[in-house]
Amino acid sequence: MSEKEYAVTLLNKVPEYKLGYVVAYLQGLTADEAEDDEFCEMLLKESENETEKGEVTLEELAEMCGVNIDEL
**In a structure prediction context, what are the per-residue pLDDT tens digits for the chain, which is 72 residues long?**
999 999 999 999 999 999 998 988 888 888 788 888 888 888 888 888 877 667 888 888 888 888 888 887
Closest to 26 (Cα-Cα) out of 10, 42, 37, 38 = 10
| Pick from 28, 2, 26: nearest CA to 14 | 26
- The model scores a pTM over 0.85: no
Residue partners of 9: CB distance under 8 A and separation at least 6: 1
